[in-house]
A = this chain, B = another copy of it.
Amino acid sequence: MNQEIRDRYEGRASIMKALGHPTRLFIVEELGRANRCVCELTEMIGADISTVSKHLSILKQAGVVDFEKRGTQMHYRLAAPCVLNFFHCLEDMVRANVQRQLLCLQNDAQPCGCEVKE
């Protein structure tokens, strides 16, 4: 994998990385329903406003969200609604993972690679 190809994947991976956090995924799904200001999101999430602001700036940097200033408030919106299409696949995978872990617990005689590490 040379530098050029690596850069190609770097750009995509940084977007996926931006989506790889529960709080940020929550923000994305919420903005899929309605535009929100930082204060509303902070209220829903229950973290420090500076923490939420930093999550939003990571999403902004990745091009997932965009914002608009209105008075003292910053109104965020989804800039790339196509990411909402990821959720269906993600939910299927979460379900499959749970299923796999259950199967693994049932016949734990033979290891199946889904053991919980200690």
Q: Which residues of A contact B (CB under 8 A)?
A: 1, 5-6, 9-26, 44-46, 60-64, 79-80, 82-83, 85-94, 96-97, 100, 113-114
Contact = CB atoms under 8 A, between A and B. Distances in A.
Contact of A1 (B14, B45, B62, B100): B45
Contacts of A23: 1, 9
A100 B63 CA distance: 9
A17 B17 contact: yes
Nearest to A63: B97
B90 A12 contact: yes
A15 B62 contact: no
10 contacts: A1-B44, A11-B97, A16-B86, A17-B20, A17-B21, A61-B113, A63-B97, A82-B89, A82-B93, A86-B89
A44 to B, nearest CB: 6
Contacts of A94: 11-12, 15
A80 B96 contact: yes
